Amino acid sequence: MPELPEVETVRRGLAPTLEGQRLLRVHAHRPDLRFPLPANFTNRLVGRRVTSLGRRAKYLIAYLDSGEALIMHLGMSGRFSIVDARGVLAFDDYAYSTEGDPKHNHVEFDVEGGAKVIYNDPRRFGFMDIVAIAELESCKHFKAMGPEPLSNQFSAAGLAAALCARKTPIKSALLDQSTVAGLGNIYVCEALFRAGISPTRPSNAVTPSEIVALSAAIRAVLSEAIDAGGSTLRDFAAADGSLGGFQERFDVYGREGLACPHCAQDKGITTLVQRLVQSGRSSFFCPSCQT
DNA sequence: AATCTAACCTGACCGC
DNA sequence: TGCGGTCAGGTTAGAT
């Protein structure tokens, strides 16, 4: 499920249960996810208090009172759910989740107070790692990571500098986490649509004024998606109905063959959204609005 | 150094 | 009902 807005939604869902609490037991039901779990995985977690739950790009970061941090990436299909002390599903970012698919419950955390936090990941593209908090920024996951797009580290000027020397299509450059952190296929497509830029445009052919529009579009679409609780694909709403509504507001993503909303509403014409494949990923765009 | 491809996995869906 | 092919929100190792 996870691009930046979805991971932020998960962070907000898990934080009340984890922050300030100790991990009483940790169950790893297999030795690896995409990669082997780090050495002494459970021993480095059990008894530790989670001082806070943060996020960098698409990674969750549980800061521990041991001076280490548990880094969690959800890959393509990673999910978290919480079963509270009464055994009631208290948080779930999607509905078939753990109860319907328990064989993919790979890691479970028993939290002080009685809640259980469950990591479920059918495709197992997710991974977990433990690194010293002092070495987070220089660790292999983050050392080449670009600016956080909703922070003041991200600017049109910085984006321009990152794009000006690159010939690769703008779609590819935005998927590259060293350009901007946290964008994925959905939000790159949506941001390029809002900025009126074709996904095939060479990065160094995006004009300064377009880069201003693009950086604003990136911020806007991510903020709106976070406010909506992220996007949920091929699933129905979350257990409490409050998560994952942004897919209703996609302009182009997943809308091949449907009318471009901007053309229909503002130009009075009908243009169909097209799909093309770039570096193995689908790009959705409006050939009239995006040049 | 930049850029592209294949690979890692499972499940859902579609056409036959 | 079953089978085969296609597709999926990400990252990375290896080749070019």
- Read off the pLDDT of each residue in A224-233 and give the average, rounded to a whole number: 89
pLDDT of A243 reads: 63
Q: Any known ligand binding at A123? A: yes
User: Residue A236: its pLDDT value, please?
Assistant: 41
Q: Are residues A113 and A227 in the same domain?
A: no
Q: Is A58 a catalytic residue?
A: yes
- DSSP H helical ranges for A66-140: 97-100
Q: Output the domain CATH number for residue A256.
A: 1.10.8.50
Determine, yes or no, domain membership for A66: yes
Say if residue A244's pLDDT is above 80: no
Residues A275 and A236 in one domain: yes
Q: Which of A105-119, A156-170, A232-246 has the lowest mean pLDDT?
A: A232-246
A98: number of Cβ within 10 Å:
21
In which element (H, E) is residue A283 found? strand A281-285
Q: What is the CA A125 to C1' C16 distance in angstroms?
A: 26
Instruction: Please indicate, yes or no, if residue A150 is contained in any of the structural domains.
Output: no
- Tell me what pLDDT residue A88 has: 85
Tell me, yes or no, whether A78 and A129 share the same domain: yes
pLDDT above 90 for A98: no
Picking from A65, A100, A135, the residue at the C-terminal end of a domain is A135
How far is CA A61 from its chain centroid? Answer: 13
Q: In terms of domains, do A83 and A130 share one?
A: yes
Residue entry with tokens 């690769």: A168
> In the structure, what pLDDT confidence band is assigned to residue A232 with cuts at 50, 70 and 90?
confident
Angle (CA) A85-A89-A90 rounded to 5° is 75
**Residue that wins the pLDDT comparison between A256 and A98:** A256
In a domain, A142, yes or no: no
| C1'-nearest nucleotide to the CA of A234 | B12
Q: Are residues A280 and A194 in the same domain?
A: yes
How confident is the model at residue A100, as a pLDDT?
54
- Region A182-202: mean pLDDT is 97
Tell me, yes or no, whether A113 and A182 share the same domain.
Answer: no
A192 domain residue, yes or no: yes
Same domain, A174 and A265: yes
- Are residues A130 and A178 both part of a single domain? no
Rounded mean pLDDT of chain A? 92
A42-96 pLDDT per residue, tens = 999 999 999 999 999 999 999 999 999 999 999 999 999 999 999 888 887 654 4
Domain count, chain A: 2
- Does A143 fall in a domain? no
Distances (CA, A) of A19 to A15, A22, A68: 5, 8, 15
Q: Is residue A56 situated within a structural domain?
A: yes
A240: pLDDT strictly greater than 70: no
Work out the pLDDT band at A245, boundaries 50, 70, 90: confident
Tell me, yes or no, whether A101 lies in a domain: yes
A219/A229 Cα distance (integer angstroms): 15
Is any atom of nucleic acid chain C found less than 7 Å from the CB of residue A83? no
A135: three-class secondary structure by DSSP:
helix
When comparing pLDDT for A229 and A37, which is higher?
A: A37
At A36, which CATH number?
3.20.190.10
Does residue A149 form part of some domain? Answer: no
Question: Residue for token digits 């699933």?
Answer: A235
**Residues 1-40 on chain A lying near strand C, CB distance under 7 A:** 1-3, 6, 34
Reported as a single tens digit per residue, the pLDDT across A259-290 is: 999 999 999 999 999 999 998 899 999 999 99
Cβ of A279 near strand B (under 7 Å)? The reply is: yes
Do residues A128 and A175 share a domain? Answer: no
Which domain does A257 fall in, by range?
Answer: 156-285
Whether A183 has a pLDDT exceeding 90, the answer reads yes
Same domain (yes/no): A122, A173: no
A154 pLDDT above the threshold of 80:
yes
A281 is catalytic: yes
